[in-house]
Amino acid sequence: MSFLSMNFLLFLAVAILGYYVIPKRLQWVWLLLFSYIFYLASGTTAVVFILATTVTTFLAGLILEYLDGRMDRELNGQTPPLTPEQKKAVKARYKRNKKWIAAAVLLINFGILAVLKYRNFAVGNVNQLFGTDFALGKLILPLGISFYTFQSMGYLIDVYRGKYAPDHNLFRFALFVSFFPQILQGPIGRYDRLASQLFSQRKFSLERVERGLQLMLWGYFKKIVIADRAAVVVNEVFGNYEAYTGIAVIMGILCYSIQLYGDFSGGMDVVMGAAECFGISLDQNFKRPYFARSISDFWHRWHITLGTWMKDYVFYPFSLSKGMNRFSKYCKKNLGRHAGRVLPVCIANLLVFFLVGVWHGPAWKYIVYGLYNGIIIAAGNLAAPLYQKAALALHIPTESKAWGLVQIARTFLLVNISWYFDMAQDLKAAFIMMKNTVTGFSFSALTDGTLMRLGLDKKDYLALILACGVLFTVSLLQENQMEIRCSLAKKPLAARWGIYLMLLFAIPLLGQINLTGGGFIYAQF
Protein backbone atom coordinates (compact mmCIF):
# COMPACT_ATOMS: atom_id res chain seq x y z
CA MET A 1 0.00 0.00 0.00
CA SER A 2 1.80 3.10 -1.22
CA PHE A 3 1.89 6.13 1.08
CA LEU A 4 0.95 8.13 -2.03
CA SER A 5 -2.28 6.24 -2.71
CA MET A 6 -5.77 7.32 -1.74
CA ASN A 7 -6.17 3.88 -0.16
CA PHE A 8 -3.45 4.71 2.35
CA LEU A 9 -5.02 8.06 3.28
CA LEU A 10 -8.38 6.35 3.89
CA PHE A 11 -6.63 3.54 5.80
CA LEU A 12 -4.83 6.08 8.00
CA ALA A 13 -8.04 8.04 8.65
CA VAL A 14 -9.84 4.90 9.85
CA ALA A 15 -6.82 3.89 11.97
CA ILE A 16 -6.68 7.31 13.67
CA LEU A 17 -10.44 7.46 14.24
CA GLY A 18 -10.63 3.98 15.75
CA TYR A 19 -7.50 4.53 17.88
CA TYR A 20 -9.19 7.31 19.85
CA VAL A 21 -12.67 5.72 19.97
CA ILE A 22 -11.85 2.28 21.36
CA PRO A 23 -10.99 1.71 25.06
CA LYS A 24 -7.52 3.07 25.79
CA ARG A 25 -6.20 -0.24 27.09
CA LEU A 26 -6.77 -1.69 23.60
CA GLN A 27 -5.08 1.10 21.63
CA TRP A 28 -1.86 -0.85 21.13
CA VAL A 29 -3.91 -3.87 19.95
CA TRP A 30 -5.61 -1.60 17.40
CA LEU A 31 -2.19 -0.46 16.13
CA LEU A 32 -1.03 -4.07 15.85
CA LEU A 33 -4.17 -5.03 13.92
CA PHE A 34 -3.77 -2.17 11.45
CA SER A 35 -0.05 -2.80 11.11
CA TYR A 36 -0.72 -6.35 9.98
CA ILE A 37 -3.56 -5.26 7.70
CA PHE A 38 -1.13 -2.82 6.12
CA TYR A 39 1.48 -5.56 5.79
CA LEU A 40 -0.93 -8.14 4.37
CA ALA A 41 -2.03 -5.60 1.74
CA SER A 42 1.40 -6.09 0.14
CA GLY A 43 0.87 -9.85 -0.17
CA THR A 44 0.02 -12.72 2.13
CA THR A 45 3.14 -14.81 1.42
CA ALA A 46 5.63 -12.25 2.72
CA VAL A 47 4.01 -12.19 6.18
CA VAL A 48 5.72 -15.53 6.94
CA PHE A 49 9.09 -13.81 7.01
CA ILE A 50 8.16 -10.98 9.37
CA LEU A 51 6.51 -13.55 11.65
CA ALA A 52 9.69 -15.65 11.58
CA THR A 53 11.81 -12.65 12.57
CA THR A 54 9.34 -11.62 15.28
CA VAL A 55 9.06 -15.06 16.88
CA THR A 56 12.75 -16.02 16.74
CA THR A 57 13.87 -12.66 18.14
CA PHE A 58 11.23 -12.68 20.88
CA LEU A 59 12.13 -16.22 22.01
CA ALA A 60 15.85 -15.47 21.90
CA GLY A 61 15.30 -12.49 24.19
CA LEU A 62 13.48 -14.67 26.72
CA ILE A 63 16.17 -17.37 26.56
CA LEU A 64 18.91 -14.79 27.13
CA GLU A 65 17.03 -13.48 30.17
CA TYR A 66 16.53 -17.03 31.46
CA LEU A 67 20.26 -17.75 31.15
CA ASP A 68 21.08 -14.56 33.04
CA GLY A 69 18.74 -15.55 35.86
CA ARG A 70 20.07 -19.08 35.99
CA MET A 71 23.64 -17.77 36.11
CA ASP A 72 22.78 -15.47 39.03
CA ARG A 73 21.22 -18.37 40.94
CA GLU A 74 24.22 -20.56 40.31
CA LEU A 75 26.64 -17.84 41.38
CA ASN A 76 24.80 -16.84 44.55
CA GLY A 77 22.93 -19.97 45.62
CA GLN A 78 25.80 -22.34 46.30
CA THR A 79 26.77 -23.58 49.73
CA PRO A 80 29.65 -23.20 50.37
CA PRO A 81 30.05 -20.09 48.16
CA LEU A 82 31.95 -20.51 44.91
CA THR A 83 35.57 -19.44 44.75
CA PRO A 84 36.51 -16.51 42.47
CA GLU A 85 37.94 -18.97 39.95
CA GLN A 86 34.74 -21.02 39.95
CA LYS A 87 32.61 -17.89 39.52
CA LYS A 88 34.76 -16.86 36.59
CA ALA A 89 34.27 -20.27 34.98
CA VAL A 90 30.49 -20.10 35.49
CA LYS A 91 30.29 -16.64 33.94
CA ALA A 92 32.39 -17.74 30.98
CA ARG A 93 30.14 -20.75 30.38
CA TYR A 94 26.93 -18.71 30.43
CA LYS A 95 28.46 -15.97 28.33
CA ARG A 96 29.43 -18.57 25.74
CA ASN A 97 25.91 -20.04 25.75
CA LYS A 98 24.34 -16.59 25.38
CA LYS A 99 26.69 -15.77 22.55
CA TRP A 100 25.69 -18.94 20.69
CA ILE A 101 21.97 -18.14 21.09
CA ALA A 102 22.38 -14.55 19.89
CA ALA A 103 24.66 -15.58 17.02
CA ALA A 104 22.22 -18.27 15.85
CA VAL A 105 19.27 -15.86 15.71
CA LEU A 106 21.37 -13.16 14.05
CA LEU A 107 22.50 -15.70 11.46
CA ILE A 108 18.93 -16.90 10.82
CA ASN A 109 17.50 -13.43 10.30
CA PHE A 110 20.36 -11.87 8.39
CA GLY A 111 20.50 -15.13 6.44
CA ILE A 112 16.85 -14.71 5.42
CA LEU A 113 17.60 -11.14 4.34
CA ALA A 114 20.70 -12.22 2.42
CA VAL A 115 18.97 -15.06 0.60
CA LEU A 116 15.88 -13.07 -0.35
CA LYS A 117 17.70 -9.91 -1.36
CA TYR A 118 21.17 -10.99 -2.53
CA ARG A 119 20.96 -14.59 -3.75
CA ASN A 120 20.56 -13.73 -7.44
CA PHE A 121 23.36 -11.15 -7.22
CA ALA A 122 25.70 -13.75 -5.72
CA VAL A 123 24.67 -16.46 -8.21
CA GLY A 124 25.09 -14.09 -11.16
CA ASN A 125 28.61 -13.17 -10.07
CA VAL A 126 29.56 -16.83 -9.51
CA ASN A 127 28.27 -17.70 -12.99
CA GLN A 128 30.24 -14.85 -14.52
CA LEU A 129 33.42 -15.61 -12.60
CA PHE A 130 33.53 -19.42 -12.98
CA GLY A 131 31.50 -19.91 -16.14
CA THR A 132 28.82 -21.89 -14.32
CA ASP A 133 25.14 -21.86 -15.19
CA PHE A 134 23.33 -21.85 -11.85
CA ALA A 135 19.71 -20.77 -12.29
CA LEU A 136 18.51 -17.46 -10.91
CA GLY A 137 15.50 -17.79 -8.64
CA LYS A 138 12.25 -15.87 -8.60
CA LEU A 139 12.49 -14.53 -5.08
CA ILE A 140 10.06 -12.72 -2.82
CA LEU A 141 11.24 -9.44 -1.31
CA PRO A 142 9.00 -8.87 1.72
CA LEU A 143 7.87 -5.34 2.49
CA GLY A 144 10.39 -3.42 4.61
CA ILE A 145 12.56 -6.48 5.27
CA SER A 146 15.78 -4.45 5.63
CA PHE A 147 14.17 -2.09 8.13
CA TYR A 148 12.40 -4.60 10.36
CA THR A 149 15.39 -6.98 10.32
CA PHE A 150 17.83 -4.28 11.45
CA GLN A 151 15.36 -3.01 14.05
CA SER A 152 14.77 -6.50 15.48
CA MET A 153 18.44 -7.43 15.50
CA GLY A 154 19.27 -4.16 17.27
CA TYR A 155 16.79 -5.19 19.98
CA LEU A 156 18.39 -8.64 20.26
CA ILE A 157 21.91 -7.24 20.60
CA ASP A 158 20.75 -4.75 23.25
CA VAL A 159 19.10 -7.53 25.27
CA TYR A 160 22.26 -9.63 24.92
CA ARG A 161 24.33 -6.71 26.21
CA GLY A 162 21.94 -6.23 29.15
CA LYS A 163 20.84 -2.76 28.08
CA TYR A 164 17.21 -3.59 28.96
CA ALA A 165 15.02 -6.58 29.77
CA PRO A 166 13.25 -8.37 26.91
CA ASP A 167 9.55 -7.94 26.22
CA HIS A 168 7.47 -10.75 27.73
CA ASN A 169 4.43 -10.25 25.49
CA LEU A 170 4.77 -11.66 21.97
CA PHE A 171 2.00 -9.48 20.55
CA ARG A 172 3.41 -6.29 22.02
CA PHE A 173 6.80 -7.16 20.58
CA ALA A 174 5.13 -7.87 17.23
CA LEU A 175 3.85 -4.28 17.21
CA PHE A 176 7.38 -2.97 17.81
CA VAL A 177 8.58 -4.93 14.77
CA SER A 178 5.66 -4.11 12.45
CA PHE A 179 4.40 -0.59 13.36
CA PHE A 180 3.00 0.39 9.97
CA PRO A 181 4.09 4.04 9.49
CA GLN A 182 7.78 3.17 9.81
CA ILE A 183 8.02 -0.33 8.38
CA LEU A 184 8.09 0.80 4.74
CA GLN A 185 11.12 3.12 4.87
CA GLY A 186 12.21 3.57 8.46
CA PRO A 187 13.44 5.13 10.62
CA ILE A 188 15.09 2.14 12.27
CA GLY A 189 13.71 2.34 15.79
CA ARG A 190 15.26 1.39 19.12
CA TYR A 191 13.16 -0.58 21.58
CA ASP A 192 13.97 1.56 24.62
CA ARG A 193 12.78 4.73 22.86
CA LEU A 194 9.85 3.37 20.85
CA ALA A 195 8.17 0.57 22.81
CA SER A 196 6.92 2.69 25.72
CA GLN A 197 5.31 5.09 23.25
CA LEU A 198 3.57 2.30 21.34
CA PHE A 199 1.96 0.92 24.49
CA SER A 200 0.98 4.21 26.16
CA GLN A 201 -2.69 5.16 26.52
CA ARG A 202 -3.68 8.47 24.95
CA LYS A 203 -6.63 10.83 24.80
CA PHE A 204 -7.57 12.50 21.55
CA SER A 205 -5.74 15.77 20.90
CA LEU A 206 -6.79 17.92 17.95
CA GLU A 207 -3.50 19.82 18.20
CA ARG A 208 -1.50 16.57 17.98
CA VAL A 209 -3.41 15.30 14.95
CA GLU A 210 -3.17 18.70 13.28
CA ARG A 211 0.61 18.75 13.75
CA GLY A 212 0.88 15.24 12.36
CA LEU A 213 -1.19 16.02 9.27
CA GLN A 214 0.72 19.29 8.85
CA LEU A 215 4.01 17.38 8.70
CA MET A 216 2.54 14.87 6.26
CA LEU A 217 1.32 17.70 4.00
CA TRP A 218 4.82 19.20 3.93
CA GLY A 219 6.23 15.77 3.11
CA TYR A 220 3.79 15.29 0.23
CA PHE A 221 4.73 18.74 -1.09
CA LYS A 222 8.41 17.80 -1.16
CA LYS A 223 7.70 14.43 -2.76
CA ILE A 224 5.05 15.32 -5.36
CA VAL A 225 6.00 18.87 -6.29
CA ILE A 226 9.80 18.67 -6.03
CA ALA A 227 10.99 15.06 -6.19
CA ASP A 228 8.57 13.74 -8.81
CA ARG A 229 9.10 16.71 -11.12
CA ALA A 230 12.89 16.44 -10.87
CA ALA A 231 12.50 12.70 -11.54
CA VAL A 232 11.40 13.45 -15.12
CA VAL A 233 14.89 14.75 -15.96
CA VAL A 234 16.55 12.00 -13.94
CA ASN A 235 14.72 9.22 -15.75
CA GLU A 236 15.48 10.75 -19.15
CA VAL A 237 19.20 11.28 -18.55
CA PHE A 238 19.97 8.09 -16.63
CA GLY A 239 17.66 6.00 -18.81
CA ASN A 240 19.45 7.17 -22.00
CA TYR A 241 22.87 7.83 -20.51
CA GLU A 242 24.85 7.18 -23.69
CA ALA A 243 22.92 9.91 -25.54
CA TYR A 244 23.81 12.75 -23.15
CA THR A 245 27.05 14.52 -22.32
CA GLY A 246 28.35 17.51 -20.39
CA ILE A 247 25.73 19.92 -19.06
CA ALA A 248 22.89 17.46 -19.72
CA VAL A 249 24.51 14.82 -17.48
CA ILE A 250 25.25 17.42 -14.82
CA MET A 251 21.60 18.51 -14.95
CA GLY A 252 20.58 14.86 -14.52
CA ILE A 253 22.85 14.52 -11.49
CA LEU A 254 21.62 17.79 -9.93
CA CYS A 255 18.00 16.81 -10.50
CA TYR A 256 18.69 13.44 -8.89
CA SER A 257 20.18 15.29 -5.94
CA ILE A 258 16.97 17.32 -5.72
CA GLN A 259 14.76 14.27 -6.29
CA LEU A 260 16.45 12.17 -3.61
CA TYR A 261 16.40 15.02 -1.09
CA GLY A 262 12.72 15.74 -1.68
CA ASP A 263 11.81 12.05 -1.82
CA PHE A 264 13.67 10.90 1.28
CA SER A 265 13.01 13.90 3.50
CA GLY A 266 9.41 14.03 2.25
CA GLY A 267 8.98 10.35 2.99
CA MET A 268 10.32 10.82 6.51
CA ASP A 269 7.88 13.69 7.06
CA VAL A 270 4.96 11.52 5.98
CA VAL A 271 6.11 8.66 8.23
CA MET A 272 6.75 10.86 11.26
CA GLY A 273 3.56 12.84 10.70
CA ALA A 274 1.46 9.67 10.51
CA ALA A 275 3.06 8.37 13.73
CA GLU A 276 2.54 11.75 15.42
CA CYS A 277 -1.20 11.45 14.81
CA PHE A 278 -1.08 8.55 17.30
CA GLY A 279 1.10 10.52 19.72
CA ILE A 280 4.27 8.62 18.77
CA SER A 281 7.54 10.46 18.10
CA LEU A 282 9.90 8.50 15.87
CA ASP A 283 13.65 9.04 15.82
CA GLN A 284 14.89 11.80 13.54
CA ASN A 285 16.23 10.30 10.33
CA PHE A 286 17.01 13.29 8.13
CA LYS A 287 18.56 16.62 9.09
CA ARG A 288 19.24 18.92 6.12
CA PRO A 289 22.26 16.95 4.80
CA TYR A 290 23.10 19.41 2.01
CA PHE A 291 24.23 21.85 4.69
CA ALA A 292 26.89 19.33 5.75
CA ARG A 293 30.52 20.53 5.81
CA SER A 294 32.09 17.12 5.27
CA ILE A 295 31.11 13.67 4.05
CA SER A 296 31.22 12.48 7.66
CA ASP A 297 28.85 15.29 8.65
CA PHE A 298 26.65 14.41 5.67
CA TRP A 299 26.19 10.87 7.00
CA HIS A 300 25.36 12.23 10.45
CA ARG A 301 22.43 13.99 8.76
CA TRP A 302 21.38 11.47 6.07
CA HIS A 303 19.55 8.29 7.11
CA ILE A 304 20.60 9.00 10.67
CA THR A 305 19.16 5.82 12.20
CA LEU A 306 20.99 3.57 9.73
CA GLY A 307 24.22 5.39 10.57
CA THR A 308 23.72 5.10 14.33
CA TRP A 309 22.78 1.41 13.93
CA MET A 310 26.03 0.78 12.05
CA LYS A 311 27.99 2.82 14.61
CA ASP A 312 26.60 0.98 17.64
CA TYR A 313 26.53 -2.57 16.29
CA VAL A 314 29.36 -2.65 13.73
CA PHE A 315 31.78 0.28 14.06
CA TYR A 316 32.38 0.23 17.83
CA PRO A 317 32.49 -3.57 18.26
CA PHE A 318 34.94 -3.85 15.35
CA SER A 319 37.15 -0.84 16.09
CA LEU A 320 37.38 -1.74 19.81
CA SER A 321 38.01 -5.45 19.24
CA LYS A 322 41.18 -7.12 20.49
CA GLY A 323 42.53 -7.52 16.97
CA MET A 324 42.09 -3.82 16.17
CA ASN A 325 43.66 -2.86 19.50
CA ARG A 326 46.74 -4.90 18.60
CA PHE A 327 46.77 -3.31 15.15
CA SER A 328 46.53 0.16 16.72
CA LYS A 329 49.51 -0.52 18.98
CA TYR A 330 51.51 -1.81 16.00
CA CYS A 331 50.72 1.34 13.97
CA LYS A 332 51.61 3.65 16.85
CA LYS A 333 54.95 1.92 17.25
CA ASN A 334 55.87 1.83 13.55
CA LEU A 335 53.89 4.67 11.89
CA GLY A 336 53.39 7.22 14.61
CA ARG A 337 50.74 8.22 17.12
CA HIS A 338 48.33 9.76 14.60
CA ALA A 339 48.35 6.69 12.35
CA GLY A 340 47.91 4.40 15.34
CA ARG A 341 44.86 6.33 16.44
CA VAL A 342 43.26 6.91 13.03
CA LEU A 343 44.03 3.79 10.92
CA PRO A 344 41.80 1.41 12.96
CA VAL A 345 38.99 3.98 12.71
CA CYS A 346 39.52 4.21 8.94
CA ILE A 347 39.33 0.44 8.51
CA ALA A 348 36.19 0.29 10.66
CA ASN A 349 34.65 3.08 8.57
CA LEU A 350 35.44 1.21 5.35
CA LEU A 351 33.71 -1.88 6.75
CA VAL A 352 30.68 0.18 7.76
CA PHE A 353 30.35 1.86 4.38
CA PHE A 354 30.85 -1.40 2.54
CA LEU A 355 27.84 -2.69 4.50
CA VAL A 356 25.93 0.54 3.82
CA GLY A 357 26.54 -0.02 0.12
CA VAL A 358 25.38 -3.63 0.34
CA TRP A 359 22.31 -2.52 2.32
CA HIS A 360 21.28 -0.22 -0.53
CA GLY A 361 20.93 -3.07 -2.97
CA PRO A 362 22.37 -6.19 -4.66
CA ALA A 363 24.61 -4.49 -7.23
CA TRP A 364 28.28 -3.58 -7.56
CA LYS A 365 27.37 0.06 -8.11
CA TYR A 366 26.02 0.24 -4.55
CA ILE A 367 29.14 -1.38 -3.11
CA VAL A 368 31.30 1.18 -4.95
CA TYR A 369 28.93 3.92 -3.74
CA GLY A 370 29.45 2.85 -0.14
CA LEU A 371 33.23 2.44 -0.46
CA TYR A 372 33.50 5.83 -2.19
CA ASN A 373 32.05 7.48 0.90
CA GLY A 374 34.14 5.37 3.25
CA ILE A 375 37.37 6.15 1.39
CA ILE A 376 36.72 9.91 1.42
CA ILE A 377 36.02 9.84 5.17
CA ALA A 378 39.12 7.71 5.81
CA ALA A 379 41.29 9.99 3.67
CA GLY A 380 39.95 13.03 5.51
CA ASN A 381 40.79 11.50 8.89
CA LEU A 382 44.31 10.52 7.79
CA ALA A 383 45.06 13.88 6.22
CA ALA A 384 43.56 16.00 9.03
CA PRO A 385 46.99 17.21 10.35
CA LEU A 386 48.00 18.23 6.80
CA TYR A 387 44.75 20.18 6.39
CA GLN A 388 45.39 22.01 9.66
CA LYS A 389 48.97 22.89 8.68
CA ALA A 390 47.88 24.05 5.21
CA ALA A 391 45.13 26.23 6.71
CA LEU A 392 47.63 27.86 9.06
CA ALA A 393 50.20 28.37 6.30
CA LEU A 394 47.64 29.90 3.94
CA HIS A 395 45.98 31.94 6.72
CA ILE A 396 42.57 30.42 5.97
CA PRO A 397 39.98 31.57 8.54
CA THR A 398 38.53 28.09 9.16
CA GLU A 399 35.93 29.40 11.62
CA SER A 400 34.51 32.01 9.25
CA LYS A 401 31.14 31.77 7.51
CA ALA A 402 32.82 32.14 4.13
CA TRP A 403 34.98 29.06 4.73
CA GLY A 404 31.92 27.24 5.98
CA LEU A 405 30.24 27.95 2.63
CA VAL A 406 33.31 26.61 0.84
CA GLN A 407 33.10 23.41 2.90
CA ILE A 408 29.38 23.04 2.15
CA ALA A 409 30.01 23.52 -1.59
CA ARG A 410 32.91 21.05 -1.54
CA THR A 411 30.82 18.44 0.29
CA PHE A 412 27.87 18.97 -2.07
CA LEU A 413 30.19 18.35 -5.03
CA LEU A 414 31.57 15.14 -3.51
CA VAL A 415 28.05 13.93 -2.68
CA ASN A 416 26.89 14.58 -6.24
CA ILE A 417 29.77 12.51 -7.59
CA SER A 418 28.52 9.62 -5.47
CA TRP A 419 25.08 9.89 -7.09
CA TYR A 420 26.57 8.61 -10.37
CA PHE A 421 26.98 5.22 -8.68
CA ASP A 422 23.73 5.37 -6.74
CA MET A 423 21.40 6.08 -9.68
CA ALA A 424 23.19 4.73 -12.78
CA GLN A 425 21.85 1.53 -14.32
CA ASP A 426 25.04 -0.31 -13.38
CA LEU A 427 28.70 0.32 -12.59
CA LYS A 428 29.69 0.50 -16.27
CA ALA A 429 26.97 3.08 -16.95
CA ALA A 430 28.21 5.19 -14.03
CA PHE A 431 31.74 5.40 -15.45
CA ILE A 432 30.43 6.12 -18.96
CA MET A 433 28.35 9.00 -17.56
CA MET A 434 31.39 10.35 -15.70
CA LYS A 435 33.44 10.22 -18.89
CA ASN A 436 30.67 11.88 -20.91
CA THR A 437 30.37 14.65 -18.33
CA VAL A 438 33.97 15.69 -18.95
CA THR A 439 34.51 14.92 -22.64
CA GLY A 440 31.26 16.45 -23.84
CA PHE A 441 31.20 19.51 -21.59
CA SER A 442 30.19 22.76 -23.30
CA PHE A 443 28.47 25.86 -21.96
CA SER A 444 26.58 26.12 -25.26
CA ALA A 445 24.23 23.44 -23.91
CA LEU A 446 22.77 26.10 -21.64
CA THR A 447 21.44 28.08 -24.60
CA ASP A 448 21.01 25.64 -27.49
CA GLY A 449 17.83 24.01 -26.19
CA THR A 450 19.46 20.89 -24.72
CA LEU A 451 17.83 21.41 -21.33
CA MET A 452 14.40 21.69 -22.96
CA ARG A 453 14.80 18.18 -24.36
CA LEU A 454 15.13 16.51 -20.96
CA GLY A 455 11.38 16.22 -20.33
CA LEU A 456 10.58 19.55 -18.68
CA ASP A 457 9.49 22.80 -20.32
CA LYS A 458 10.00 26.37 -19.05
CA LYS A 459 6.93 26.24 -16.83
CA ASP A 460 8.10 22.97 -15.29
CA TYR A 461 11.55 24.37 -14.56
CA LEU A 462 9.99 27.50 -13.09
CA ALA A 463 7.73 25.44 -10.83
CA LEU A 464 10.69 23.31 -9.74
CA ILE A 465 12.85 26.36 -9.00
CA LEU A 466 10.01 28.03 -7.05
CA ALA A 467 9.36 24.90 -4.97
CA CYS A 468 13.09 24.40 -4.31
CA GLY A 469 13.26 28.03 -3.21
CA VAL A 470 10.53 27.40 -0.65
CA LEU A 471 12.29 24.26 0.56
CA PHE A 472 15.66 26.02 0.77
CA THR A 473 14.19 28.93 2.75
CA VAL A 474 12.51 26.64 5.26
CA SER A 475 15.65 24.49 5.57
CA LEU A 476 17.87 27.54 6.06
CA LEU A 477 15.60 28.84 8.84
CA GLN A 478 15.67 25.42 10.50
CA GLU A 479 19.46 25.24 10.14
CA ASN A 480 19.60 28.54 12.00
CA GLN A 481 17.68 27.00 14.92
CA MET A 482 14.27 28.42 14.05
CA GLU A 483 11.44 26.09 15.09
CA ILE A 484 9.16 26.50 12.10
CA ARG A 485 6.37 24.30 13.44
CA CYS A 486 6.36 26.00 16.83
CA SER A 487 6.24 29.41 15.17
CA LEU A 488 3.39 28.23 12.95
CA ALA A 489 1.46 26.90 15.95
CA LYS A 490 1.54 30.36 17.55
CA LYS A 491 -0.06 32.03 14.55
CA PRO A 492 -3.82 32.71 14.44
CA LEU A 493 -6.05 29.92 13.15
CA ALA A 494 -6.78 31.76 9.89
CA ALA A 495 -3.07 32.27 9.16
CA ARG A 496 -2.24 28.62 9.88
CA TRP A 497 -4.98 27.33 7.63
CA GLY A 498 -4.03 29.82 4.95
CA ILE A 499 -0.57 28.23 4.82
CA TYR A 500 -2.03 24.70 4.88
CA LEU A 501 -4.35 25.53 1.98
CA MET A 502 -1.52 27.09 -0.02
CA LEU A 503 0.47 23.85 0.32
CA LEU A 504 -2.60 21.74 -0.36
CA PHE A 505 -3.42 23.56 -3.60
CA ALA A 506 0.24 23.75 -4.64
CA ILE A 507 0.40 19.95 -4.80
CA PRO A 508 -2.14 19.48 -7.64
CA LEU A 509 -1.20 22.75 -9.34
CA LEU A 510 2.60 22.27 -9.36
CA GLY A 511 3.04 18.55 -8.74
CA GLN A 512 2.51 15.28 -10.53
CA ILE A 513 -0.34 13.43 -8.87
CA ASN A 514 -0.65 9.65 -8.85
CA LEU A 515 -3.23 8.52 -6.33
CA THR A 516 -3.27 4.91 -7.52
CA GLY A 517 0.29 3.85 -6.94
CA GLY A 518 3.91 4.88 -7.10
CA GLY A 519 5.97 5.28 -3.99
CA PHE A 520 9.04 6.62 -2.25
CA ILE A 521 12.52 5.57 -3.33
CA TYR A 522 13.55 4.22 0.08
CA ALA A 523 10.43 2.03 0.22
CA GLN A 524 12.36 -0.32 -2.11
CA PHE A 525 14.71 -1.34 0.71
The pLDDT value recorded for residue 516 is 42
Compute the radius of gyration of the chain from its Cα atoms.
26
Rounding to the nearest 10 degrees, give the CA dihedral for residues 252, 255, 257, 262: -150
Q: What long-range pairs does 82-87 form, CB within 8 A, spacing at least 24?
A: none
Q: Respond yes or no on whether the N-terminal peptide bond of residue 187 is cis (omega within 30° of 0).
A: yes
Looking at residue 184, the DSSP 8-state letter turns out to be T
Rounding to the nearest 10 degrees, give the CA dihedral for residues 453, 459, 465, 469: -170
Distances, alpha carbon 279 to alpha carbons 176, 198, 273, in Å: 15, 9, 10
Each of the 525 residues of the chain gets a pLDDT tens digit; together they read: 788 888 999 999 999 999 999 999 999 999 999 999 999 988 888 899 999 999 999 999 999 999 999 999 888 877 788 888 988 998 999 999 999 999 999 999 999 999 999 998 999 999 988 888 888 877 778 888 999 999 999 999 999 999 999 999 999 999 999 999 999 888 999 999 999 999 999 999 998 999 999 999 999 999 999 999 999 999 999 999 999 999 999 999 999 999 999 999 999 999 999 999 999 999 999 999 999 999 999 999 999 999 999 999 999 999 989 999 999 999 988 888 888 889 999 999 999 999 999 999 899 999 999 999 999 999 999 888 888 888 888 888 888 899 999 999 999 999 999 999 999 999 999 999 999 999 988 888 888 888 999 999 999 999 999 999 999 999 999 999 888 888 887 888 888 888 888 888 888 887 765 544 457 777 666
Residue 286, helix vs strand vs coil: strand
The pLDDT value recorded for residue 515 is 45
Q: What is the largest CA-CA distance in the chain?
A: 92
Residue 140, helix vs strand vs coil: coil
The pLDDT value recorded for residue 513 is 59
Residue 58, helix vs strand vs coil: helix
pTM for this entry: 0.93
Are 176 and 195 in contact, with CB atoms under 8 Å apart? yes
Report the Cα 32 to chain-centroid distance in Å: 23
Looking at residue 282, the DSSP 8-state letter turns out to be P
Domain positions in the chain: 6-204, 205-286+424-525, 304-404
One-letter amino acid at 203 equals: K
